[in-house]
Structure 1
């Protein structure tokens, strides 16, 4: 049995072949133009899914990079601000050292008080410094207005203690806890605080030091002085209750040790004078320290002992505040190092996602050009073949 193919069918088959070749050639040309092997999910579902996952990872890395840069800006500005604060406190410390000069008059000390007042104003301005975009560097977890307010009782912190941070993936600070930096240094020497009671005018107590950490009790001690028959003695009370020390002889400038705490009282205490030794607390405000120093320097007719006590306390508290600030500044510097490391990690992550996306959807240009040329050759051959078939007809055949 023989099969016959009509001329019409031959023409139709040729057209179908040409159309198919044209579609293939157009697709190859489109891929060459875009440089993409996978332009839509139907081109290669598995590769399209890989590319989509890689794109999502790349976008997450870009978002994290913006957060890291915001943290870098905040930490750089904060570190600079804390450096300015330390410099101001150093100036205040120099003024207090000068105030201890025995030859200074009340007017000269009043001049130093005015200098401290200026330093305090500058310090408040730095504490309320912004990042240039409306956020307060030391605003903690949030502050709609300046976090430090100069109120009637002294400077108060109106921000929310804590820090604003970037997303958990990077977890970097965007603000500094201003309350922790300026308002909560340790009182005293960091372990215990010595102080003279009101009315003590001829003696003073130093900052003391820990001589036996294992003997510390955390109690509050009071030293009460008495004078009898020309001899000065003191009794020690623990949390208001008598101890075994009831009439210890006093010698000016000699070490006194109470449960691992050693300190010196100098001068000539009067009968009834009291000195207190109590555990340090994280309640020291740098602004209150300056306010007390300004008040003392502005008070006329103080005795030499009162001047010595005031200067000793002021220098101690300034040193504690500076130590707190220097620690916070060092932490900001360490955070900048971590931010550099995080920047490198995100750059690597972004590059890895870009590479994965490229492998999934990008075109191999060498292979694509070769295929395009093959398709073009095939199309040219099909076109020539069709043109030859199209010229064949019975009349043309008879005429040959």
Structure 2
């Protein structure tokens, strides 16, 4: 069988090109640190690597989302901490103002400081995040959620939603709170609040009410104590009577009573118990005076931290000279302090929720880090290079290419003309 010189040259060239290609492939692997440089190197591994790469990208996006969510929740928690301090200071001022030793001027001074607390609270309620969006406006975050109306009272202009952010594949987390939840809500365990009617002409004051029995059949509804005093009788007369009316207009029989009955409001006062609650009254009522009681957050007693402060400021700004005015002052301060207690409990509850979400973000971060580590290891197993094996292969391919080159040189030198 005759083999032409052309055939030998072509085979030698093909062998040398093949060795160069294999050598170049190993060189690229060593330079890139990857076993699969092109999909053709390992189609199955390359296909799986695309899926793992996508999972890594999604995990990184969730990680960035958690950073943004943590900033928003941390800002919310910080503002709520400031709100807590403001409410505590307001309560301290009301306690001071309720002292009988203070003069009208002293109470006006307390009212002046309370106005500053009130304005500070408005500022906190209209706090913004780092992007200029209002924290407590819900989805209406492009305008201040709390603003004064024409009467000078603060109104909420946001919505009842909370902005949410996807922080993991299965977790959509609220990153802010709406102002209604913070400043116009109370916890479910909030105590009853009593309020004297603005038109009362007597000097009856109250303390409480206190909850005695939450299982009482009438517990949970609102109550109104109406006083009936014959204008022709002397004060403290046994002919002064009262009636307790439920929220549906029915008469409520107080515990231990057979119906409406006389009262002795002098001395240390008299305690009334009905509907699972009790209230202590002291002083002389006028005919038609009323004291109402309701659970806060209901239509009968809507919760509003700003209106609570507005009522306290209003009563402290007006000098209390008559017995009726002094009773109105004490009753309003008592109601306001009870409402501040409920508001403080609510703020602490919402703040605790924000703190819990910060802790949850830490847990999700730890899970995400473990997931990212697993993805990275899987991707490394699929496409990363084994340097020990690659260097051995590199040396082998280098020797093979040198042998092919030497063979080509030897074949090229074979010619009959060398022997002529």
Alignment TM-score, normalising by the size of structure 2: 0.89
In 1, Cα distance between equivalents of 2:121 and 2:214: 36
Q: CA 1:242 to 1:331, structure 2 compared with 1: closer, same or farther past 3 Å?
A: closer
What does 1:306-385 align with in structure 2 at a 5 Å threshold? 306-385=328-407
Checking the alignment, whether the CA contact within 8 Å between 2:186 and 2:296 is kept in structure 1 is no
In 1, Cα distance between equivalents of 2:172 and 2:413: 77
In 2, Cα distance between equivalents of 1:339 and 1:110: 47
Checking the alignment, whether the CA contact within 8 Å between 1:186 and 1:284 is kept in structure 2 is no
In 1, Cα distance between equivalents of 2:217 and 2:113: 39
In 1, Cα distance between equivalents of 2:179 and 2:208: 27
In 2, Cα distance between equivalents of 1:48 and 1:296: 77
What does 1:130-141 align with in structure 2 at a 5 Å threshold? 130-141=128-139
- Answer yes or no: is 1:264 the counterpart of 2:272: no
**CA positional deviation for 1:236:** 2.3
> Which of 253, 271, 276 pairs up with 1:255?
271
In 1, Cα distance between equivalents of 2:391 and 2:264: 101
Write the deviation string for residues 38-70 of structure 1: whole angstroms up to 9, x where unpaired. 122222111111111111111111110111111
Alignment TM-score, normalising by the size of structure 1: 0.93
Write the deviation string for residues 238-261 of structure 1: whole angstroms up to 9, x where unpaired. 333345554323233232111212
What residue number does 1:33 align with?
Answer: 31
In 1, Cα distance between equivalents of 2:96 and 2:113: 12
Give the number of equivalent residue pairs. 395
What residue number does 2:112 align with?
Answer: 114
In 1, Cα distance between equivalents of 2:76 and 2:251: 49
- Answer yes or no: is 1:284 the counterpart of 2:282: no
What residue number does 1:222 align with?
Answer: 224
What does 1:1-400 align with in structure 2 at a 5 Å threshold? 3-153=1-151, 154-167=153-166, 169=169, 170-185=171-186, 190-200=190-200, 201-217=202-218, 218-227=220-229, 230-231=237-238, 232-238=240-246, 239-244=248-253, 245-252=258-265, 253-282=269-298, 283-302=302-321, 303=323, 304-396=326-418, 398=419
Structure 1: gaps of 5 or more residues:
none
Residue 171 of structure 1: SS of its match in structure 2? strand
Residue 214 of structure 1: SS of its match in structure 2? coil
Answer with 263-272 or 19-28: which moved more.
Answer: 263-272
Write the deviation string for residues 185-222 of structure 1: whole angstroms up to 9, x where unpaired. 369x8253322223334112223122111114344332
In 1, Cα distance between equivalents of 2:249 and 2:23: 99
Checking the alignment, whether the CA contact within 8 Å between 1:222 and 1:240 is kept in structure 2 is no
Checking the alignment, whether the CA contact within 8 Å between 1:221 and 1:240 is kept in structure 2 is no
Checking the alignment, whether the CA contact within 8 Å between 2:87 and 2:340 is kept in structure 1 is yes
Q: CA 1:19 to 1:274, structure 2 compared with 1: closer, same or farther past 3 Å?
A: same
In 2, Cα distance between equivalents of 1:216 and 1:243: 11
Q: CA 1:339 to 1:144, structure 2 compared with 1: closer, same or farther past 3 Å?
A: same
In 2, Cα distance between equivalents of 1:242 and 1:172: 48
Q: CA 1:386 to 1:264, structure 2 compared with 1: closer, same or farther past 3 Å?
A: same
**CA positional deviation for 1:159:** 1.7
RMSD: 2.0
Structure 2: gaps of 5 or more residues:
none
Answer with 47-56 or 142-151: which moved more.
Answer: 142-151
